[in-house]
């Protein structure tokens, strides 16, 4: 390589390395703030690295899995409530897991199911009976990257039908 | 080592090469795309949760990964143009930019159309969607710089620098779903280990992906040819070519 090209190569390469380092550091510094949502355990116990905890009344997004059996809906209106727990692999729900209750009034997305990932947007409240909860103004469904035909899902024992509400879940008092 | 590449630094040789490649690419693209799209949209099984809405995957994912792939190719061209001052590398980068921008737009639009019924929203400012939008702006900036200067060498240099600065966005888009909490799901196909998709869904995807990649090849070749002619319009071989075509 002739010296001029070599010089240009070093200049371009060093600029690229510099930009890479700068953006790497910026992203590292921002890493907590780029998250779209808080998980239920981050709301109750604070973020893992920083211990940062959202305060009551703050507008936040929460993301988690709908705890099976926790969905309660008012038969007279669109009011609905459900509990969210962390997305952990493998998926299992224990009563000791940190959970946050979400209250919402509106139409739920098509993919809303028990055990499904949900992202809700609203204010953090502290309701006495249920503890920390979110008064949501928006509920979005999150789906995973696994796609399969229905027959295969049946074979694997994956539930995929829409939530059916039991009598108890439909009690308007429950909301 | 790179000796076999040297003749292609000559515009005329490159022009003839793209001419020879074009019919092959075009036929292969037509075959793969027609098989892939018919298979994907009519015969592939519907998803267990999303039903038929899932089929937009077959357009959305190839468009999104090609939008990143084209950018990377453009960055390689910009790099070699800046270091070795290959004029043809500039021409190829200028040829690729609008194609990449179009595929980014397709990825964003199909993504929005998929997001509304599944997630419940057209748009959300999560890391994946935002970084892909930034990619669109980078493409638009590169296109604007290529046409902002009379002097094509200067334009190529300016656009090349922007391209190289922006290349840092590519790994950010790719890994955004792993690094941060996002509404967007993780990768299905391009990850280590087995793709999270059943085989009768994966095969049509492979056809669609190859088909769309070949389509990009066709469009880029067409545009590259035009760029070569426009940039060498005073050369005798171009004049001869034009005369041959007009007298025919």
pLDDT over 80 (residue B230)? yes
The structure tokens 């769309």 sit at B212
**Residue range A91-140, pLDDT digits in tens:** 677 777 788 899 999 888 888 888 888 899 999 888 777 678 888 998 99
Say if the Cβ atoms of A143 and B118 lie within 8 Å. Answer: yes
Question: How do beta strands A59-66 and A79-85 pair?
Answer: antiparallel
* pLDDT tens-digit readout, B111-163: 999 998 888 889 998 899 999 999 999 999 999 999 999 898 899 999 999 99
Task: Reduce the DSSP state of residue B180 to 3 states and report it.
Answer: coil
Instruction: Write the CB contacts of B207 (distance below 8 Å, at least 6 apart in sequence).
Output: B32, B35, B36, B39, B40
> Quick one: which of A172, A146, A149, A135 has its CA closest to A56?
A135
Length of chain A: 175
Tell me what the pLDDT averaged over chain B comes to.
Answer: 91
Residue A146 is predicted with a pLDDT of 81
What is the phi/psi pair of residue A142, to 5°? Answer: -110, 135
Partner-chain contact A149 B57, CB within 8 Å: no
Which residues of B lie inside 8 Å of A (Cβ-Cβ)? 45-50, 54, 57, 79, 82-84, 117-121, 124-127, 164-165, 167-168, 172, 179-183, 185-188, 196-198, 200-201
The region of weakest confidence among A35-39, A53-57, A87-91, A153-157 is: A87-91
Three-state SS at A165: coil
pLDDT of B110 > 90? The answer is yes
Residue A39 phi/psi, 5-degree rounding, is: -90, 160
CB B159, CB B142: distance < 8 Å:
yes
The answer to whether ipTM exceeds 0.90 is no
- Facing residue for B164 by CB, picked from A12, A27, A138: A12
Spatial contact of A82 and A120, defined as CB atoms under 8 Å apart: no
């Amino acid at each position: 390589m002739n010296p001029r090209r070599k010089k240009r190569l070093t200049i371009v390469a060093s600029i690229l390395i510099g930009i890479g380092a700068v953006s790497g550091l910026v992203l590292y510094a921002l890493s907590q703030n780029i998250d779209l949502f808080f998980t239920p355990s981050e709301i109750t116990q604070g973020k893992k690295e920083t211990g940062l905890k959202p305060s009551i009344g703050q507008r936040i997004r929460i993301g988690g899995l709908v705890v099976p059996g926790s969905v309660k809906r008012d038969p007279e209106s669109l009011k609905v409530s459900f509990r969210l727990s962390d997305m952990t692999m493998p998926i299992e729900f224990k009563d000791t897991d940190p959970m946050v209750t979400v209250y919402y009034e509106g139409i739920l997305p098509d993919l809303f199911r028990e055990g499904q990932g949900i992202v809700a947007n609203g204010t953090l409240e502290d309701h006495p009976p249920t503890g920390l909860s979110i008064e949501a103004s928006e509920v979005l469904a999150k789906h995973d990257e696994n796609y399969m035909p229905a027959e295969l899902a049946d074979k694997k024992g994956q539930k995929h039908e829409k939530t059916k509400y039991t009598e108890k879940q439909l009690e308007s008092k429950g909301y | 080592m790179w000796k076999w590449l040297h003749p292609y630094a000559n515009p005329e040789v490159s022009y003839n090469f793209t001419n020879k490649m074009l019919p092959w690419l075009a036929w292969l693209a037509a075959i793969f795309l027609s098989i892939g799209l018919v298979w994907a949209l009519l015969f592939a099984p519907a998803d267990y949760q999303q039903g038929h809405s899932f089929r937009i995957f077959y357009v959305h994912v190839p468009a999104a990964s090609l939008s990143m792939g084209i950018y990377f190719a453009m960055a390689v061209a910009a790099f070699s143009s800046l270091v070795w001052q290959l004029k043809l590398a500039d021409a190829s980068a200028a040829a690729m930019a609008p194609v990449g921008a179009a595929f980014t737009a397709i990825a964003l639009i199909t993504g929005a159309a998929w997001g509304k019924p599944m997630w419940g929203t057209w748009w959300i400012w999560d890391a994946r969607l935002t970084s892909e939008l930034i990619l669109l702006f980078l493409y638009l900036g590169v296109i604007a710089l290529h046409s902002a200067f009379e002097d094509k060498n200067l334009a190529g240099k300016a656009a090349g620098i922007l391209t190289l600065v922006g290349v840092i966005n590519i790994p950010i888009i790719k890994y955004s779903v792993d690094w941060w909490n996002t509404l967007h799901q993780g990768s299905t196909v391009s990850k280590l280990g087995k793709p999270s998709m059943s085989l009768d869904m994966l095969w049509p995807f492979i056809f669609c992906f190859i088909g769309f990649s070949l389509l990009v090849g066709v469009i880029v070749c067409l545009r590259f040819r035009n760029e070569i002619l426009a940039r060498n319009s005073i050369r005798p071989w171009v004049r001869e070519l034009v005369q041959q075509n007009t007298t025919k």
